[in-house]
Structure 1
Amino acid sequence: MTTLTAPERTTRAASPYRLTFPRLLRSEWIKLSTLRSTWWAIGISALLTIGIAVIAAASLSEAQGFEPIQAVVSPIQFTMLLAGILGVISVTGEYSTGMIRSTFAAQPVRGAVLAAKATVIAIVLFLSSLIIFFAAAIAVTPFFLDSGIPFAWDDPAKSTLPILAASISMAVFALIGVAFGFLLRSGAGAIAATVGLLFVLPLIASLFAGAGPGWEWIADVVNHLPMSAAQSAILPQEDFGIPVVEAYVTLTAWVAAGMLAAWAVLRTRDA
């Protein structure tokens, strides 16, 4: 027997029916797809990814040791912020308009709402990122052909696997934004927290990473931050970052921690 919290009992009493999970997924997709910010974020991500990839390919295609896949996935250092912010907006937009009350009235089980929203935003970011990265790969191919370095489509480790890892990472960044959105409910606060975790904190920590004996733990912390773990998963290197399996475990842990914290808050706090 499912035990409901006080907020869930209140919304269930006010609702004559509940949305099934498939209908809840469809509802979340409609809400996300009708937000102009969704398509703006995806469009800007596409422009940044393809634009930066082409610029990198044009300027570095003849550099020794620079491979085509590096040009394709390097823009994720900037587009990760758009993914995180989109995750935040998908949640805080409902709180700012009051639509979240209708959502919880239609489905009083808060965990189901969280799961549906997280599923939809993750799928949208993964699929759109996959298309964008493959488009970037096609765009940079001519530059490397001119330099005699063909895109290694026959080697998954230098083509499809990094693209898949980058797309998964974009979904992870969006889910971190979703978690902060539910935790803070404030657009400005959640965006600041997301940008701080994904971008600012790694910069600050890296300043102390090479400080000398006694500070080695900071380098270990940096390697397990979301962006650093994503880099290790996308383009693994023996002398940099963490192993691939550990990188994926780290990214999974960040998502799990964020979703659990958001779920705990949703169960105990009114909309």
Structure 2
Amino acid sequence: MTTLTSPRRATFTRAASGPTFLRSLRSELLKLTTVRSTWWALGIGAALTVAIAFLYMSAAEGGNPIFGVLVSAQFTMLVAGVLGAIAVTGEYATGMIRSTLTATPRRVQAALAKAVAIALVVGAATVLTYLIGLAVTIPTASTAVVWSDPAQSLLPLALGVCAMVVYALIGTGFGLIVRNGAGAIAATVGVLFVAPIAVGLFQLGGESWQWLVDLGRYLPVSAGSTLTAIPTADILVPALTLVAWVVGLVGIGTALLQRRDA
């Protein structure tokens, strides 16, 4: 027996199921690109990248411009991480998260759309920043960039973009977990900046702390540095390390978003 569904009921059913992922993604991109904090963060990151690359080339008397651009990640990673954190916690601070979850009842979809939007914005901004940094530094280089060898040119740059996206998504994960701006930023800075310094101090403790030093290789910054080495070496372990950090933090944050009230 065939059941007839009225057009009005079909329309209601589609509306109740929530928007598609692409609509959620467009909404998140719109929200992310229309707040001043995003542009301030991207502008600061771009300025730091270009300035550090220029200073490196000046100090190294014409060193490798690609390394000069990539070395700035030691500082701009914090900007990316903080941007990822406040992109989530800002909605909790203003109460806009309720509107977001009302418009997108599927909370997994809402969290993934937000993460993908942050990844796209940070990735695009990093590509543009690297191009500007190279345009500033290549004319001052004493040796030409070997573009014909991807391991010394295009691949480190591409992996540098991926690493910056990961740093931003780590902040996103902490934002979903903590839901508080100060707490999420503190956790992000702790993992990206404080933890590597603390692990470095344990190197002074001799072999008794070597196990902790070995674990430090799986911190995001250590994995990112290995990933963007010039020339590019084995990228499997550092790449999997960064993927594990993103999947772990964003996955936990998404699971908590489903269980907790907005």
TM-score (structure 1 length as normaliser): 0.87
> Which of 249, 253, 265 is 2:244 aligned to?
253
| Secondary structure, aligned partner of 2:22 | helix
Shift of 1:68: 2.6
Identity of aligned residues (%): 44
Matching residue of 1:33 = 33
RMSD between aligned alpha carbons? Answer: 1.7
For the Cα contact (< 8 Å) 1:210–1:216, is it kept in 2? no
> CA 1:199 to 1:136, structure 2 compared with 1: closer, same or farther past 3 Å?
same
Shift of 1:59: 1.4
1:15-72 Cα distance to aligned partner (Å, 9 max, x none):
856222111111001100001011111111111101110111011035xxx5332111
Contact 1:50 1:132 in 2 (8 A): yes
Flag structure 2 segments of 5+ consecutive residues without an equivalent.
Answer: 1-14
Of residues 243, 246, 266, the one that matches 2:257 is: 266
Matched, 1:197 2:188: no
Residue 60 of structure 2 corresponds to: 60
Amino acid at match of 2:164: M
Moved over 6 A (4+): none
- What residue ranges of structure 1 are gaps of 5+ in the alignment? 1-14
For residues 235 and 252 of structure 2, the distance between their equivalents in structure 1, rounded to whole angstroms, comes to 26
| Superposition deviation, residue 191 in structure 1 | 0.3
Cα distance, 1:236 vs. partner? 5.7
Mapped partners of 1:247, 1:129: distance in 2: 20
Cα separation, 2, equivalents of 1:58 and 1:29: 38
Give the letter aligned to residue 215 of structure 1.
Answer: W
Q: 1:214 matched to which residue of 2? A: 208
Determine the C-alpha separation between the residues in 2 that align with 1:237 and 1:229: 15
DSSP 3-state at the match of 1:214: helix
Q: Match of 1:49, as an amino acid?
A: T
Deviation of 1:130 (Å): 1.2
Question: What is the aligned partner in structure 2 of residue 129 from structure 1?
Answer: 126
Q: Hey, what's the Cα distance between the residues in 2 that align with 1:236 and 1:51?
A: 21
**CA distance in structure 1 between the partners assigned to 2:221 and 2:53 by the alignment:** 19
Hey, what does 1:101 align to over in structure 2? Answer: 98
* Secondary structure in 2 matching 1:152: coil
Residue correspondences, number: 248
Q: Which amino acid aligns with 2:180?
A: S
> What is the letter of the counterpart of residue 96 of structure 2?
M
The offset of 1:210, in angstroms, is 4.4
Matches within 5 A, 1:1-271: 16=16, 18-62=18-62, 66-144=63-141, 147=142, 149-235=143-229, 243-271=234-262
Q: How far off is 1:237 after superposition? A: 7.4
